[in-house]
Amino acid sequence: EVQLLESGGGLVQPGGSLRLSCAASGFTFSSYAMSWVRQAPGKGLEWVSAIRGSGESTYYADSVKGRFSISRDNSKNTLYLQMNSLRAEDTAVYYCAKDFDMMIVVAAFDYWGQGTLVTVSS
């Protein structure tokens, strides 16, 4: 059974940093691209970042480029999101999500974690 478990969320002041983690199990982690998708309270879904299975390529939304960094440790089956220079508008539930197709670079998502809430406020 595929499982994705996020951690690392919490309350942080504007300008601060957080690192989110996503522990994956139940599939060959290194074979699939992974993404972070966020959802602000009461709002829709926003893709944040993606990384190929090998970790060789990363992709970012313009809203986080230069502030956030995605990475993965395939030996630990874990995905990360380092978030720096946080702003109030980064407040959201952050989901990690698994690509449904290992043959394409970045895709739709067949498994999602339950999410971790990041609140940026003074």
Partner 1 sequence: DIVMTQSPDSLAVSLGERATINCKSSQSVLYRSTNKNYLAWYQQKPGQPPKLLIYWASARESGVTDRFSGSGSGTDFTLSISSLQAEDVAVYYCQQYYTTPLTFGQGTKVDIK
* Residues of this chain that bind partner 1 (CB under 8 A): 35, 44-47, 50, 59-62, 95, 100-101, 104, 106-110, 112-115
Toward partner 1, which CB reaches closer, 30 or 47? Answer: 47
Toward partner 1, which CB reaches closer, 7 or 13? Answer: 7
Reduced to 3 states, what is the DSSP secondary structure of residue 31?
helix
The rounded distance, in Å, linking the Cα atoms of 15 and 99 is 31
Toward partner 1, which CB reaches closer, 46 or 82? Answer: 46
CB of 95 to partner 1, least distance (A): 6
* Site of tokens 């969320």: 9
Toward partner 1, which CB reaches closer, 88 or 104? Answer: 104
CB of 75 to partner 1, least distance (A): 26
Sequence-ordered list of residues with C-beta below 8 angstroms from that of 79, at least 6 positions apart, any chain: 21, 22, 24, 34, 36, 51, 70, 71, 72, 96
The rounded distance, in Å, linking the Cα atoms of 115 and 48 is 13
CB of 122 to partner 1, least distance (A): 27
